[in-house]
Structure 1
Amino acid sequence: MDGANQTQVTEFIFLGFSRVLQGQAFLFLAFLAIYLVTLLGNCLILTLIVLDPQLHSPMYFFLGHLSFLDMCYSSVTVPKILVNFVRQRETISYWECMAQMLFLMTCAGTECALLTVMAFDRYTAICKPLHYTLIMSKKVCVPLATACWLWGILNSTMHTSMATDVSFCGASQIHHIFCDVPPLLKIACSDTYVNEMALHAASVFVGFIPFLLVLISYTYILLAILRIRSNTGRHKAFSTCTSHLVVVIMYFGTAILNYNRPSAGYSLEVDTLVSALFCILPPVLNPLIYSLRNQDVRGALRRALGHHEKDNTSPRAQTGVD
């Protein structure tokens, strides 16, 4: 019975932009511009990290993964939004919806884990500088990065496989701009108790606990920075960690709003704004906040453009401590 009901839904209709009738062209250009900036910015950072030997350190190794992840993150949702603007028909097929949700949840889970690992990297660099190269060796960094991706894949596979068992009974209008677990559960006609419990559990283990670990790491980092005697070293360490902390707060803040806001009481316009911020804001701002204001990255960019200058970067400076 459930399987028969489920097969009746062959496509979903997004209602997120249904009330925007006069500004479709502006929205298309805005999303297109943001998407291109996201790809170019993150691609630039990733290229510099791969090609410049002076950026071959654990901090930039994880930053390279973050840049690649942000390109994937934005590519999961924005191109479909752009296509729907051109077609002037906000639809997505059932299996495209499941695939979009799978990749979106993979990126979300991976980024939560990766930001936590990056906080641990900063903690090790500043609080345990003498043991940094030993603790954050290649034999440690590669498994940590791999574990982040596997964590995201496991999270997404669980939610997507459970979503394919949900019946929709002909309901096909999604109050959202892309396929995600919460809006799909709202229009389901079968029992979604297990799905909702899994979503709450993921909010704790994938979202809240990593965020708590990041805050604990930065508490120790702040105390260590205050003990640094050199004003230059204190400023460099504080600048690097502030950038990471801004990225963390921005990402986890939009994620909490997207996945844990009340099921009732929010207008369609507010839901659309929150989901849009969640899928486009962190990927486009990460390279600007975390990388392009970084002295080492700017130096790598100058070298790539042919401005050969004496580089004073040392392994100790790359850890964020002078």
Structure 2
Amino acid sequence: MPKIHPETKVLIIKRLKTRSTADVADTFNVSQRQVQRIKKTFEDTGDVFDKPRSGRPRKTTAREDRLLARKSKASPFSTAAELHETWSPEVPVSTRTVCRILSRNGLRGRISAQKPALNKRQLKNRVAFAKAHSLLKGWMLEKWKKVNFSDESSVELHHSCRKYCRRPTGARMDPRFTQKTVKFGGGKIMVWGYIQYGGVREICRMEGNINSLKYQEILATSYIPNHKRGQILQQDGAPSHTSISTSKFLKAKKIKMLQDWPAQSPDMNIIEHMWGRMKEEAWKTKPKNIDELWEACKTAFFAIPDDFINKLYESLPNRMDAVLQAHGSHTRY
């Protein structure tokens, strides 16, 4: 509830002599409850000013707080301790106070999102692709339904990510509160897959380094048998995907491609969400080796509901619009 200026309170008291509480509240754009409190305070004390409140007074001034907020905005990756060292208020304060001041200014500490680095050429290509596949160019859901999205992904046996826990003071190294890690992730597998609107999907395990011939074998066994006339295959610009050999193979098989796919664009490839969900479910089974990991991934991939895939397709027009709104930069997807 916003604080009312003392001069406004005086005007409210004057208006109450001739008008109702509801009329005064509407006139000054405040609630009736606030008007009633001001009236009662005036009747009890003969004044409209707030009484001095108990509690420790603030150590920093509003000007010092603004300076700290500007320093944080200029260097968003600086910690509270680092900002504390470069900020010099008249009264010494703790790092915790620095955190509270930043929070009051809407600058709360968060884990930064990890996104691919984009150069000017890539930004330009992302905008060009989004424009060419926007609603204005006729790319509605019905047209996106014809596109089959594909990609590769690596899955570690033991994944590592930041996990929060609640523990007593001094128990940081207690085994109950530590996250166990394995060097190099304990091994990993590479998978390739694709999805269609309606829930049709396929996944296969990839062995060793993938060259053009291996990629063509994957397409021949895992994609082409399910390919229908009029469908379009989306793939990224990996060398094995865009080589002369693969291009001739796709042309011979009469596979139509989604042209000019921009590099560094996982937010535009909806199969990335499939990989994320598949990995989460696979890791929950706690596989002991990479063969068990592959079985868990395969089970999790085919267990994802068809409706989940359909909703990803439905988000594509909004994804193109988001890329345009961001001028080719990262989007929330």
Going by fraction, where is strand more abundant, 1 or 2? 2
Same-fold status (TM-score > 0.5): no
TM range, smaller chain: under 0.3
- The TM-score normalised by the length of structure 1 is 0.21
Please identify the structure whose Cα radius of gyration is greater.
2
Going by fraction, where is helix more abundant, 1 or 2? 1
